[in-house]
Chain A
């Protein structure tokens, strides 16, 4: 149940952000992360962003996924 998915902030209105998970959109609360910005990657759980990911961290995650798919 502690699933969390990485997603990109595509719209920001105060404490509420619209995030995109591979194109699927949802509104989430971003009050628990520091200084959320448009284009940031966040880890989302139960409607709340709980952590920010740097671009490099997102790329690392993609690389891990692709490595698994390739083996």
Chain B
């Protein structure tokens, strides 16, 4: 037996009660399913998936705004891959593209800037979605556009930050969380320091884990060990990437380009100070200002329960649309679209759990 699995079994026996550990990050969700790690866990240890899939937590009104932008004949919308298939109120970027709109998938925001340079007659808008891991790349690109005098590049931002969202979940009485498997690559940027308020104020253990199955198993063993001994500390399993203070250069860049703002999360609603807005200094690169975008009240699919899935209030099979009307080929909600979405992971790896 794997030594970590043995340690997990022993700690689970000591704990004696049912515990729920939340893996916040969508990449952890996929690792846990794909590796079969979930089946290794004792009956009283349950993994629940959190709101750490950026595409999934992006509000429908942001998708609607992106669609509105790509309908302008002078605009090319650029985005990371999964977002193009997320349904807005009435359409998706993929459908708009089929109808002739310019919506392109890029690997990096710098690719979007390069596209702007190559097409000076077009307005290139990058959809800024992602957490602390991704936002520095976007901040750098905005500064680079500013430095080099590119005027046809801008960013529609829905960037979000983790700590206040995790706190909102802890305050949510519907979900019981006994420990956090903290997002590994967010922590590369923020440092382990970011979670200390969770252990100190809420007494919930936090372990920052890497993304190999072995990392996750060890991280779970560390969390259970804390619970078995009554501790609540921030511990780092992912020591090859994460330190206490994080990437200071990236943090500086974030502070220069962005400021804290309230952000609207699908399923969690508006969480104060959980988003990143572009500072006035860089207003020329803020697509919302540049194109006077109004974020309107949006209409997600009426039966879609992604919001409850994102808060771990239900598992995907408890949604009536799961696997019937909503499938990866025809997704109605974002958690089925993104490869990191909890619904997509359940559909692909755990249909037996779905019954």
Q: Point out residues on A near B: beta carbons under 8 Å.
A: 1-4, 28-29, 31-34, 43, 45-48, 50-51, 53-54, 57-58, 60-61, 64-65, 67-68, 71
Which of B2, B26, B140, B241 is in CB contact (< 8 Å) with A1?
B26
Contact of A46 among B2, B137, B249 (CB under 8 A): B137
Contact indicator A68/B136 (Cβ below 8 Å): no
**Which residues of chain A come closer than 8 Å to B53, judged between CB atoms?**
1
A68 touches B137 (CB 8 A): no
Chain B, residues 189-200, CB within 8 Å of chain A (1/0): the string is: 100000000000
Q: Bound state CA distance, A3 and B27, in angstroms?
A: 7
Q: Which of A1, A4, A29, A54 has the most CB of B within 10 A?
A: A1
Cβ-based interface call for B327 (8 A): no
Contact status B136-A50, CB under 8 Å:
yes
What would be 5 A-B contacts, judged by CB atoms less than 8 Å apart? A1-B54, A29-B140, A46-B133, A51-B188, A64-B215
Contact call B80/A1, Cβ cutoff below 8 A: yes
Q: Tell me if B131 is interfacial: C-beta within 8 Å of chain A.
A: yes
Q: Is the CB of A2 within 8 A of B213?
A: no
User: B134 near A: Cβ within 8 Å?
Assistant: yes
- The SS class assigned to the A binding surface is mixed
B82 to chain A, nearest CB (A): 7
Report A9 CB to chain B, min CB distance, Å. Answer: 16
- A1 vs B129: C-alpha distance when bound (angstroms): 9
Question: At the interface, yes or no: B323 with Cβ under 8 Å from chain A?
Answer: no
Please tell me if the beta carbons of B240 and A53 are within 8 angstroms of each other in the complex: yes
Interface residues of B in 226-285 (CB under 8 A from A): 239-241, 247, 249-250, 253
What is the distance, in angstroms, from B37's C-beta to the closest C-beta of chain A? 10
Bound complex: CA A19 to CA B42 (Å): 41
Bound-state Cα–Cα, A9 to B110, Å: 19
A-side contacts of B338, CB under 8 Å:
1
Say how far A47's CB is from chain B's closest CB, in angstroms: 3
Considering the chains assembled together, what is the distance between the CA atoms of A66 and B215 in angstroms? Answer: 13
Given contacts A3-B27, A31-B140, A51-B241, contact A45 B185 (CB under 8 A): yes
For the complex, give the distance between the alpha carbons of A60 and B215 in Å. 11
Residue from the set B2, B53, B80, B247 with the largest chain A CB neighbour count within 10 Å: B247
Q: Is B212 within 8 A of A68, CB to CB? A: yes
The chain A residue with its CB closest to the CB of B134 is: A46
